């Protein structure tokens, strides 16, 4: 069959029907796709020719590879992995090293015995054959593993560790493979220098990752302006393919680039995952072609050689995964169930491994190795996909983390519209104080510092500071910092300062309390504020949100919070200030600790409606959402908040979009600021700052001091 369109139709139909037949026998779909390709390819009925597979349909394999790599990056979310980073790192290193070392050693000696006397297969060629097989053996099948976990509604330490390790070891597989390929290129190419080979390998990895990071930033920046699913699909696919082909043009790794792009998007502060979801809807036919073509590449002619090598590859990989995972779990002191069953659940292998052998096939310098590696790895994939999901199911059930008899949870269709707002600064309007008067404490516990530099906002800042001070039985304190270098303050500066103080004092008197005032000399304004805060035991520092030089301003705010030892509340006002309906977006459990005192201050006076909006990853199950709601309920009760608190726990594809839409129904947002500073903030971004730039609701951003 030489007609490409007809070949595509046959591949899709055969793959679909064979997968359905396999499902009746409780086999994973990918096994059916591979078997369909085997029947259609040169080793079967020969309906799909080598010319069609190798040149005309190669584009589909490249598209599938980028989608697979991009999907791996989605599983590398640092917020989710940070609590078990030590154990994940140890386990990932041990299980990947175990598989790599055993497969490399075993296949080298088996291949040497098989090819004994063949002049083509020298010791160096056998070395590189074993090296490439070992690099491929590291990969696991995230799709098969994730499917089993979802089907069983698995939840527990084994499940959490398993999914994190699967994501990590696929990333390591791509890196190992990139280094192995580069090493083989340079040594076989005649350079012969190990130092040069390793150096160039690291360079290729670095530039591959850089290309992916740039692509990720471009996607993250542009997708927020798109309203429709089709636009996101078009842009996302275009950028991924451009990234992959650019990497391939400069002989970099498209897989590493795709993984890096996904890593950037999932770890950005606004965590907009809509592009992952729309690309996932495009994947099924592409992956059917990908796996079916992979099966068609299986040549029975090479099985007489690959037979023993393939068997040793499969068995040694399983043994390496099991032994390595057990060793890493024992060193990391994980629960007993993780030690006993994690390795068994890591046996599935499919997408990434098949993608890697396609790279070997497309490289003319590695033709000698691809004739052996292709049937060996595909045979291992078939075996691992036959028994791997069963092993994963067995592990989860024996660990006691599987639940049954529950209806499958279906997510609501996502809303893909997004309205980007532009801030228009206004003069803050304050209505008269109609709630009960604040009380002046007989014995003040400390102060809440208010720093205002604009007459338009100083009254609103004073009101927020007075409410926080009332909660802590403290007094609001206006601070004026004079430079040590200036011998005296100009008349104009004094006039402006007095005007600001009088406006703030008038507001605090209306609330029923009094405002203190203190002048301090210091090198810089932040130094003066820190000195006052330490001297007067400050419970908080209230400042206004800047309109310019935002990044520099927030670096100063974080520095003040850390040195003063108290929270800094950055207030951004829009229109008339009201606090009756308060929205509190929660991204992480640590946010609750950060906003506790500010939220308690607002709730202590008057009647408020507070909504705790817990935003979860879009794939969260119903059980997970219910569990998170109980966490919020327990925290609210423990924090002593008023009964007017409501809870909403929603899966979210785009954090920024979800917060802005919900903010339309509220008067005030209270958010915790991100802890990242410097380069991490530049890389991951700031969700709170994105919200401040794009919403039309007044907002308090709380910076908590680091311990």
Query: Which 3-state string (H, E, C) describes 437-473?
Result: CCCCCCCCCCEEEEECCCCCCHHHHHHHHHHHHHHCC
Q: Which residues contact 572 (CB under 8 A, 6 or more apart)?
A: 544, 545, 692, 698, 699, 700, 701
No. of helices (H) and no. of strands (E), the chain: 26, 12
d(C-alpha 425, C-alpha 431), whole Å: 18
d(C-alpha 175, C-alpha 69), whole Å: 12
Q: Are 392 and 165 in contact (CB under 8 A)?
A: no
Tokens 């003063």, residue located: 564
Q: For the CA atoms of 144, 150, 154, 158, what is the dihedral angle to 10 degrees?
A: 30
d(C-alpha 529, C-alpha 703), whole Å: 15
d(C-alpha 561, C-alpha 563), whole Å: 6
Beta bridge partners of 475: 447
Q: What is the DSSP letter of 645?
A: E
Of 393, 304, 391, 378, nearest in space to 347 by CA:
391
pTM of the model: 0.70
d(C-alpha 200, C-alpha 186), whole Å: 8
pLDDT at 196: 63
Contacts by 180-188 with C-beta closer than 8 Å and gap 24+? 180/131, 180/132, 180/134, 180/135, 181/132, 181/135, 181/359, 181/360, 181/363, 181/366, 183/131, 184/128, 184/131, 184/132, 184/365, 184/366, 184/369, 185/365, 187/124, 187/128, 188/128, 188/365
- 235, two tokens: 């842009």
Of 685, 695, 633, nearest in space to 658 by CA:
695
d(C-alpha 563, C-alpha 533), whole Å: 9
Tokens 């817990």, residue located: 614
Beta bridge partners of 611: 583, 646
Rounded to 5°, the CA angle 510-511-513 comes to 100
Q: Which residues contact 317 (CB under 8 A, 6 or more apart)?
A: 99, 102, 103, 137, 349, 380, 384
Phi first, then psi: give them for residue 106, nearest 5 degrees.
-65, -50
Q: Are 599 and 670 in contact (CB under 8 A)?
A: yes
d(C-alpha 189, C-alpha 187), whole Å: 5
Q: How far is CA 426 from the centre of its chain?
A: 36
- 470, two tokens: 């009332």
d(C-alpha 670, C-alpha 599), whole Å: 8
- 199, two tokens: 């150096």
Q: Are 178 and 205 in contact (CB under 8 A)?
A: yes
User: What are the chain's domains?
Assistant: 4-398 (1.20.1530.20), 429-703 (3.40.50.12370)
Where the chain has pLDDT below 50, the residues are 1, 192, 404-426
Rounded to 5°, the CA angle 630-635-636 comes to 100
Q: Between 58-74 and 351-361, two packed helices, what is the crossing angle to 10 degrees?
A: 140
pLDDT at 427: 61
Rounded to 5°, the CA angle 559-563-566 comes to 100
Q: Which residues contact 36 (CB under 8 A, 6 or more apart)?
A: 11, 14, 15, 17, 18, 19, 292, 295
pLDDT at 680: 63
pLDDT at 320: 92
Q: Which residues contact 508 (CB under 8 A, 6 or more apart)?
A: 462, 463, 466, 476, 514, 515
d(C-alpha 8, C-alpha 376), whole Å: 26
The region, left, alpha or beta by phi > 0 then psi within -120 to 50, assigned to residue 387 is alpha
Strand spans (E) along 595-690: 609-617, 645-652, 668-672
d(C-alpha 663, C-alpha 666), whole Å: 5
E strand or H helix at 483, and its extent? strand 475-483
């Amino acid at each position: 069959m030489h007609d490409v369109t007809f070949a595509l139709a046959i591949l899709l139909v055969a793959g679909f029907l064979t997968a359905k037949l396999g499902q009746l026998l409780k086999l994973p779909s990918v096994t059916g796709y591979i078997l369909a390709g085997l029947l259609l390819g040169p080793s079967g009925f020969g309906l799909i020719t080598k010319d069609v597979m190798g040149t005309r349909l190669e584009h589909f394999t490249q598209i599938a590879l980028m989608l697979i790599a991009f999907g791996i990056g989605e599983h590398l979310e640092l917020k989710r992995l940070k609590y078990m980073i030590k154990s994940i790192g140890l386990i990932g290193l041990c299980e990947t090293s175990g598989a790599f070392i055993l497969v490399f050693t075993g296949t080298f000696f088996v291949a040497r015995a098989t090819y004994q006397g063949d002049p083509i297969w020298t010791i160096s060629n056998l070395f590189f054959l074993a090296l490439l097989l070992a690099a491929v053996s590291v990969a696991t099948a995230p799709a098969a593993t994730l499917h089993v976990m979802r089907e069983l509604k698995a939840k527990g330490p084994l499940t959490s560790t398993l999914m994190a390790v699967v994501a990590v070891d696929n990333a390591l597989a791509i890196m190992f493979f990139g280094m192995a390929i580069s090493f083989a290129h340079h040594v076989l190419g005649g350079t012969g220098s190990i130092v040069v080979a390793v150096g160039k390998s690291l360079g290729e990895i670095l530039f591959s990752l850089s290309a992916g990071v740039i692509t990720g930033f471009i996607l993250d920046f542009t997708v927020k302006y798109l309203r429709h699913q089709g636009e996101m699909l078009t842009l996302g696919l275009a950028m991924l393919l451009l990234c992959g082909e650019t990497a391939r043009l400069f002989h970099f790794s498209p897989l590493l680039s795709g993984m890096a792009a996904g890593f950037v998007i999932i770890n950005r502060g606004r965590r907009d995952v809509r592009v992952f979801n729309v690309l996932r809807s495009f994947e099924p036919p592409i992956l059917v072609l990908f796996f079916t073509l992979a099966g068609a590449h299986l040549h029975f002619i090479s099985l007489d050689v690959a037979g023993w090598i393939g068997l040793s590859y499969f068995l040694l990989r399983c043994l390496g995964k099991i032994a390595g995972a057990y060793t890493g779990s024992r060193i990391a002191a994980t629960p007993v169930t993780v030690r006993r069953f994690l390795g068994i659940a890591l046996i599935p292998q499919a997408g990434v491994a098949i993608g890697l052998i396609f790279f070997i096939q497309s490289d003319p310098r590695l033709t000698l190795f691809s004739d052996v590696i292709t049937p060996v790895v595909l045979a291992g994939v078939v075996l691992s996909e036959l028994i791997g999901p069963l092993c994963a199911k067995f592990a989860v059930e024996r660990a006691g983390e599987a639940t049954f008899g529950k209806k499958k949870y279906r997510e609501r269709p996502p809303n893909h519209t997004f309205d980007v707002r532009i801030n228009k600064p206004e003069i803050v309007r304050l209505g008269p104080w109609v709630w009960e008067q604040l009380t002046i404490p007989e014995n003040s516990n400390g102060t809440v510092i208010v720093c205002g530099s604009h007459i338009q906002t100083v009254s609103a800042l004073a009101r927020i500071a007075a409410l926080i001070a009332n909660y802590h039985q403290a007094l609001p304190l206006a601070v004026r910092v004079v430079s040590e270098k200036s011998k005296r303050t100009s008349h104009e500066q004094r006039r402006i300062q007095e005007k600001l103080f009088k406006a703030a004092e008038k507001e605090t008197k209306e609330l029923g309390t009094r405002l203190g005032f203190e002048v301090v000399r210091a090198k810089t304004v932040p130094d003066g504020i820190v000195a006052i805060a330490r001297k007067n035991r400050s419970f908080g520092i209230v400042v206004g949100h800047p309109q310019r030089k935002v990044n520099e301003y927030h670096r100063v705010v974080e520095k003040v919070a850390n040195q003063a030892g108290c929270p800094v509340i950055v207030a951004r006002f829009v229109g008339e200030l009201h606090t009756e309906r308060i929205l509190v977006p929660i991204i992480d459990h640590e946010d609750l600790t950060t906003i506790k005192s500010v939220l308690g201050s607002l709730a202590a006076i008057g009647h408020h409606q507070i909504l705790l909006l817990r935003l979860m990853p879009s794939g969260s199950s119903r059980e997970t959402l219910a569990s998170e709601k109980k966490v919020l309920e327990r925290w609210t009760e423990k924090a002593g908040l008023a009964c007017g608190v409501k809870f909403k726990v929603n899966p979210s594809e785009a954090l920024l979009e979800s917060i802005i839409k919900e903010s339309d129904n509220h008067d005030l947002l209270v958010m915790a600021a991100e802890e990242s500073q410097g380069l991490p903030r530049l890389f991951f971004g700031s969700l709170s700052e994105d919200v401040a730039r794009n919403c039309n609701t007044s907002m308090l951003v709380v910076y908590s001091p680091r311990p």
